[in-house]
Amino acid sequence: MQVFPNPIDHCYILCNPAKEPERAAYLETWFETNHISKLKYTFCIPTYGTDAWFQTKEPWLYYNPWIRQQAGHRIANWSSKNLKAGELSLLFNFALVAKRAIQEGHSVVMILESDVLFCEDFLNKLKEAMDALPNEWDFLSLSASADLKPIRGEADAQRLWFPPKQPYFHTRCTDSMIFRVSMLEKILNTFFPCAEVLDWELNYQLTLHQSKSWWLDPPILRQGSGKEYPTTL
């Protein structure tokens, strides 16, 4: 059985197989084909209704814009005055992953959304990338979704990691990320109440906690939203 390259301890996938069967089938087939131990990854199913920790967060109260304004919280996201149910679900599932990673004693974790698609020879390319990491880092972006790529110069032909284009713009998308769990712990302490969809909320949180963030280029995953998912590779 294979494991993810050092220093990645575990991979969490934000996917509910019951509601996303095609995406889950693609992912499960990929893990099986690549002989990844089932001890090294976890499919996270929505648990707001069953996890007592979430009951303390009162999510629907947070996203009522009038109550939020009266309470002095950050108001509205970039596209609307309130978050949609699916956006709330992703935010809470991310928080669940952060909570689990802390409780399970991991140091470094990879987090994937349900719609990721792996490049050919992904594990070897991931190992090459992790071996080339800068000494100081907290957050890594593996995918160039939204077509956001770093600025390359003539001297960057062999370079793999780049700082974000702007100091407050850490994420390109949240489909594939690697975190130090120490940064997840900081984020979890300030995550609720959120004001944005996960992509933008993490930009805010990573800036708030002065994250040392890097973008991988060329990317080794891509976002598959809007495309059909194969059930076999």
**Residues 24-72: pLDDT tens digits?**
999 999 999 999 999 999 998 655 555 666 666 666 565 655 566 666 6
- Smallest CA-to-CA distance from 179 within 3, 2, 4, 9 is with 9
* Helix 198-208 / helix 181-190 crossing angle, nearest 10 deg: 100
More confident residue, 147 or 108: 108
Tokens of 172: 């390109």
Mean pLDDT in residue range 104-114? 96
Quote the pLDDT of residue 108: 98
Quote the pLDDT of residue 230: 47
Mean pLDDT in residue range 151-157? 82
Confidence label for 222 from pLDDT (cuts 50, 70 and 90)? confident
- Smallest CA-to-CA distance from 161 within 146, 178, 147 is with 178
Q: Give the torsion sign (CA, 43, 94, 52, 46).
A: negative
Q: Which residues of 157-187 are buried (b: 16+ CB within 10 A; e: fewer)?
A: eeebbbebeeeeebbbbbbbbbbbbebbebb
Tokens of 207: 């800036």
**Residues 9-34: pLDDT tens digits?**
999 999 888 888 899 999 999 999 99
Quote the pLDDT of residue 149: 80
Q: Is the pLDDT of residue 152 over 90?
A: no
Confidence label for 154 from pLDDT (cuts 50, 70 and 90)? confident
Confidence label for 232 from pLDDT (cuts 50, 70 and 90)? very low
Quote the pLDDT of residue 224: 78
Peptide linkage before 193 cis (omega within 30 of 0): yes
pTM for this predicted structure: 0.87
List the domains of the chain with CATH numbers. 10-223 (3.90.550)
Mean pLDDT of the chain: 84
